[in-house]
Structure 1
Amino acid sequence: MKYGKLNDSPFWVSLQQRTDLAIHGNLNAALYALELHNNIADIVSLAPEIITEGGDDENIDLLYVDLDSASVYVIQSFQSPLFREQGARPNKARDSSYAVMALSTMTIEDIPNRIREQVVIAREAIQSDLIKNLYIWFVHNCPETDECKRIMDGIGTQAATMLRGLGKSSIIVDASEVGLETLDQLYKSQQNAILISDVIETPKNAGFVEYSDTGWTAFSTSVTASFLKNLYSRYGEDKLFSANVRSYMGSNNKDQAINGQIKKSALETPSDFYVCNNGITALVHDFEVKFPSEDDKNLGRLLNITGISIVNGAQTTGCLSTNEQVIDPRIKVAIRFIKVNDDEKVRKITLANNSQNKVLASDFRSGDEVQSRLRSEFERVGDAFYTGGLRKILTPAQKRILIDPETLAQVLTAFHGHPTSSYHQKTEIWEKDELYNIAFNATITSRHILFIYSLYEAIVSYKNDIAISNRHGNLLEQDKPKHEFLSKPGVSFIVIHAVASIIEMIVGKVIPNKYSLSFRDDINREQSIQLWENVIKQVVKRTVRLLPATDNRLSQRAKITEIMDNFREDMDMFRDNFNEWFPDLIKAIKL
């Protein structure tokens, strides 16, 4: 696409509606790009933990380690206030080379203390074989250029060499210039499940057509492993798996034994692969079938498909396509091509075909009675949007007021349960009834969720303020310990648990059912966030008391419990001051 102004970009137009990202200034485009690429539901809450930009950031503006997708993102960002037809300055792309060195070979003591913990986390994940992809991005709001692409290709080679030196040659390196063209592709991928639109010739294998009166048509046949590998090589994962809730997860990680078995099957028993593998389901825009008889429109040979996105079979495709051995021509894979024009049906097909994979755990509680009731209740709340585990394509307006179910489950667990479970058992909250019932008690209401989630949002806001002051050198000396505390992984859950431990002192009453806590109905979400500010400031003042609770990333459960008991005893000494400290909050709370 030829760009004449910034508003020619759908991504840029959409970004202007994301006012929730405006607080992060020129990093808003990089955050939005990361959200779209990794399907992050709550980038606003995540931002304070992954932003490293500042005077001593080692040319890393964002550093994000996502163990769920086995990915590390190292992002250098540039944003021009005016449209630059000539593209971004190449020297900004070159800065990413120094970022790679800081992430990999620089002595950890030479890494600035402000970003050291994030670098340590990334290095540990790589060393522990938990990472499949290393994304090194130069994100900007200009047209992409051959010069910047050449530079990023060189940086990718540098990073791959570095990883080989660490014995991590299986990690896929994606060093890319992410300018307007790529940003628009990311944005459009959220609107269109099938990004590939080419007409693709098929092996003309025999198969059969299934017709439906509910809006879909499917052709079932088989294809060779070489056909799949050619698609993988030609289009890459982002396009080929665009409608899939999971891309290829690799076969070297400890929890990916099934992919190792797929490769083993392809190598050792290629003739039996067809019957030993579940096969593939792919969405297409259209397909063309040649029927031997005009009277029989069920059996025929597939001539070609128009567009493709594999919604089930990413692991099979990835294993066959990344296998270093020559592909055996005897390997056949069962496949069905489905054409459907209904977005809601596309969502159902995608989720149903991935029910055997470990997708978002909340997907499988979406039909739960509590989640269904909460979705209904939130329909009557004007300043909040809650999906209750249902996958939806969200508008920027919905994103601005989203209450992310995954984050919410962690927040509720921290308040009603234990912060160790919030941080280390994120998936288990949805999978294990015991934890799920702690988070989503049968008596929970949308008003209680707003009460607790606004506490979390207030903590995120306070963390942002402290982090921004620190990045720009405006942080007072006495506030530096607060920044150290608030920079720790999972610290929000510690603060939430601390507030929960003193909530009866704050209201001055016994609370028979803490799930009944809420703010008055006339208080909106923004006001709720503001009401929590003074409580958070008082809690964070106890940094010396609470900081040890963050040791080893909240893994020391008994130690945290003891620290919270001592914290509650300390706060009890100030109970008489609560009416003076929190008058508006106390008046606003309903039991």
Structure 2
Amino acid sequence: MADAWQTTYESRDDLKVFGDNALGLFALGLKFGIEDLVTVGTESITDGSDDKKCDIVYVDKDDGIAVVAQCYFSTKAKQEAPSNKAADLNTAISWLIQRPLNELPERIVSAAQQLRDGITNNEIKEIHIWYIHNLPESNNVLKELKAVEDSAKAAVTHQYPDSRISIHALEVGKAKINEWYDETLSPILVNDEFEIDTKIGFEIDGPEWRAYVTTVEARFLYRQYKKYKTQLFSANVRDYLGSRISDSNINNGIKKTAENEPDNFWVFNNGLTVLVNDFNVMSDNKSKNNKIVIKGMSIVNGAQTTGAIGALNKTPASSVRVPVRFIKTKNPNIVLDIIQFNNSQNKVTASDFRSTDKIQKRIKDEVSKIPSAEYEGGRRGGFGDLIRRRPNLLPSYTVGQSLASFHGDPVIAYNQKQNIWIEDSLYSKYFNENTTGSHIVFAYSLVRAVEQRKVELIEKEKKSPQTLTTDEENQIKFFRKRGSNFLLVSAISSCLETFTNRKISNLFRISFGEKKSPKEAQKLWSDLIDVTIPLCNQLDEALNDGLKNTKLVENVISKFRGLISVTAKSNAAIFKSFSKNIVIK
């Protein structure tokens, strides 16, 4: 009988185009809560004849992580995966970290450059080296991966002596994938049992919840943060954009209070709200104090407090006590509401939780009226929905990136996908009173059409490289450069006046109307991509050192737009056909 994760994995039709690497993407999604695996796949998969044993190189500077993976999928039942493929990861790390860029195969140059830039700029805090397969884990593979981890640490230390990067090699086989899959089904990842001295407290019951209000010693939080890190915030992290916890946003005021005014900490701090699987309060007759035994914990409000306490240089004094309420409920809707309301009422973090603002609510409603389209407006699906495919869903991060690239900011789309949601200035630039559900589908479908063209070209190269035309070879070279998808989207959107032969004063007003589904919209872009993609080499210069330079982007897009204008007569029929579907309000 297949494990639950296998059934879910096999249902992911959208990942099948990635072949054996689909399992690697699936594992990435489970571990890091990635909602849009298609966009990640088109960017991160490097697999090919000259990939130097790098099947996937995933870099997320927002979260400070990189994953270098070798993937293997067996169609037959075996006792273990071949250990030589684990050893191959030594080769992958050597090429990605140590070899001069001009010696690298074209296929992995951009990935290596992105990884090295992340290390140099201290944007990468952890490198994960994975051997991903669908077989049982084994000691043979474990031995090889230990050697890979040691070699990788030596290589990074040699090349970047000032870096403080953590490196972890891991076999991601059946058991590990199953473990990660199970974690997605619950908002609480820390499932241990804890016995806590509480002194005094009181219990409150609701229709479908129980709660206990008390205080806990800060040293309890200190120890748990040291042990579990961000797993303590699992419910928060998995359900809202922009709720990542990092050292850079820990409140120094909280730390100073704990260190310098421990007796006043309770009155200065708003306290914690903690979801638990269960709790039981016991009285200690000798000390006349209470104890509470909790099973599992996830801090849904108070991440700043916990992170600040956990970052102290030493264990806080016993007099430092923190207000806390432990809540137990089995209703998943109540869980989501607890997370939402506990955070949206906090002025400091309100900008991280966009799903409650009126613009997102309006857009969500507008998208719901478009055929075969769903949009969560900044809020992810429920815990169990994270890895299951929702074929009509427009993932929030990708929508933000789509709008940024469509409106001429591919550097933002590529480098700041979280900041689009976190920083008010960026958020309001793309999500404002002019942003409509139909316009979002318009921009999003262009991104998907570009991604589809990239996948088609790469598949053709794999199956019959001898049939590739010179133009197609150049297009593949372009697409191998990271950030190319978003740059091409910006270039194409900049030509809309040429395509429609009319002045467009406000790009937010353009769409395919409210009757076209995202899939239908994607097809409408396809013919236009046919006649614009041969000019993609005009954009290369902005990608050569990574997609960073806004001025350079403007220059190459200007050249691209000029050439499209020159070809307008010869492509008049295609442009006219496309224009017939355009709605400008």
TM range (shorter): 0.7 to 0.9
The alignment status of 1:14 with 2:8, answered yes or no, reads yes
Q: CA offset at residue 129 of structure 1? A: 1.7
Q: Which residue of structure 2 aligns with residue 338 of structure 1?
A: 327
State how 1:104-503 maps to structure 2 within 5 Å.
104-165=97-158, 166-167=160-161, 170-200=164-194, 202-213=195-206, 215-223=209-217, 225=219, 228-229=222-223, 232-233=226-227, 236-237=228-229, 239-245=231-237, 251=247, 255=248, 258=250, 274=265, 280-291=272-283, 301-312=290-301, 327=315, 330=318, 332=320, 334=322, 335-352=324-341, 363-393=352-382, 394=385, 399-424=390-415, 426-430=417-421, 435-470=426-461, 474=465, 475-503=468-496
Q: CA offset at residue 566 of structure 1? A: 3.3
> What are the superposed Cα offsets for residues 289-339 of structure 1, whole Å, 9 maximum, x if unpaired?
12479xxxxx9512421122333555665676687x774664745244322
Secondary structure, counterpart of 1:311 in structure 2: strand
Q: CA offset at residue 76 of structure 1? A: 1.3
The alignment status of 1:80 with 2:71, answered yes or no, reads no
Unmatched 5+ residue regions in structure 1? 294-298
Q: TM-score, normalised by structure 1?
A: 0.84
Q: CA offset at residue 539 of structure 1? A: 2.0
Find the partner of 2:40 among 43, 46, 62: 46
CA distance in 2, matches of 1:357, 1:106: 48
- Counterpart code for 1:526: K
- What is the percent sequence identity of the aligned residues? 30
Q: Which residue of structure 2 aligns with residue 296 of structure 1?
A: none
Q: Which residue of structure 1 aligns with residue 527 of structure 2?
A: 534
Q: CA offset at residue 34 of structure 1? A: 0.7
Contact 1:229 1:317 in 2 (8 A): no
Q: CA offset at residue 184 of structure 1? A: 1.8
- Counterpart code for 1:391: R
Contact 2:33 2:386 in 1 (8 A): no
CA distance in 2, matches of 1:322, 1:145: 36
- Counterpart code for 1:379: S
- Counterpart code for 1:290: M
> What are the superposed Cα offsets for residues 522-552 of structure 1, whole Å, 9 maximum, x if unpaired?
5443232122122223222113422224354
> What are the superposed Cα offsets for residues 189-215 of structure 1, whole Å, 9 maximum, x if unpaired?
222112344433x24331313414252
- Counterpart code for 1:306: K
CA distance in 1, matches of 2:429, 2:231: 39
- Counterpart code for 1:499: I
Q: CA offset at residue 415 of structure 1? A: 2.4
Taking structure 1 as reference, are residues 88 and 259 closer, same or farther at Cα in structure 2, changes over 3 Å only? farther
- Counterpart code for 1:400: P
- Counterpart code for 1:405: S
Q: CA offset at residue 279 of structure 1? A: 5.5
Q: Which residue of structure 2 aligns with residue 550 of structure 1?
A: 543
CA distance in 1, matches of 2:478, 2:8: 35
Q: Which residue of structure 1 aligns with residue 62 of structure 2?
A: 68
Find the partner of 1:96 among 89, 92, 99: 89
Taking structure 1 as reference, are residues 180 and 341 closer, same or farther at Cα in structure 2, changes over 3 Å only? same
Taking structure 1 as reference, are residues 100 and 555 closer, same or farther at Cα in structure 2, changes over 3 Å only? closer
Contact 2:235 2:298 in 1 (8 A): yes
Q: Which residue of structure 1 aligns with residue 553 of structure 2?
A: 560
Q: CA offset at residue 79 of structure 1? A: 0.8
> What are the superposed Cα offsets for residues 52-87 of structure 1, whole Å, 9 maximum, x if unpaired?
111222222111111111111111111111333x12
Taking structure 1 as reference, are residues 135 and 110 closer, same or farther at Cα in structure 2, changes over 3 Å only? same
Contact 1:417 1:438 in 2 (8 A): no
CA distance in 1, matches of 2:453, 2:473: 14
Taking structure 1 as reference, are residues 172 and 250 closer, same or farther at Cα in structure 2, changes over 3 Å only? farther
Contact 2:129 2:167 in 1 (8 A): yes
Find the partner of 2:512 among 496, 519, 538: 519
Q: CA offset at residue 579 of structure 1? A: 3.3
Secondary structure, counterpart of 1:575 in structure 2: coil
Unmatched 5+ residue regions in structure 2? none
Contact 1:534 1:581 in 2 (8 A): yes
Q: CA offset at residue 22 of structure 1? A: 1.0
CA distance in 2, matches of 1:141, 1:112: 29
> What are the superposed Cα offsets for residues 421-480 of structure 1, whole Å, 9 maximum, x if unpaired?
434554554456664454234244322222221111000111222334445671444433
Q: CA offset at residue 573 of structure 1? A: 2.2
The alignment status of 1:32 with 2:26, answered yes or no, reads yes
Taking structure 1 as reference, are residues 316 and 397 closer, same or farther at Cα in structure 2, changes over 3 Å only? closer
CA distance in 2, matches of 1:227, 1:510: 59
- Counterpart code for 1:97: N
Q: What's the RMSD between the two structures over aligned residues?
A: 3.5
- Counterpart code for 1:92: K
Contact 1:416 1:438 in 2 (8 A): no
CA distance in 1, matches of 2:85, 2:334: 43
Contact 1:193 1:242 in 2 (8 A): yes
- Counterpart code for 1:509: R
Secondary structure, counterpart of 1:400 in structure 2: coil
Contact 1:429 1:436 in 2 (8 A): yes
CA distance in 2, matches of 1:359, 1:138: 37
Contact 1:501 1:564 in 2 (8 A): yes
CA distance in 1, matches of 2:115, 2:97: 9
Taking structure 1 as reference, are residues 122 and 447 closer, same or farther at Cα in structure 2, changes over 3 Å only? same
Taking structure 1 as reference, are residues 411 and 161 closer, same or farther at Cα in structure 2, changes over 3 Å only? same
CA distance in 2, matches of 1:167, 1:270: 39
Find the partner of 1:575 among 565, 568, 571: 568
Contact 2:63 2:244 in 1 (8 A): no
CA distance in 1, matches of 2:311, 2:98: 28
CA distance in 2, matches of 1:228, 1:348: 27
Q: CA offset at residue 565 of structure 1? A: 3.2
Q: Is the deviation greater in 48-57 or in 453-462?
A: 48-57
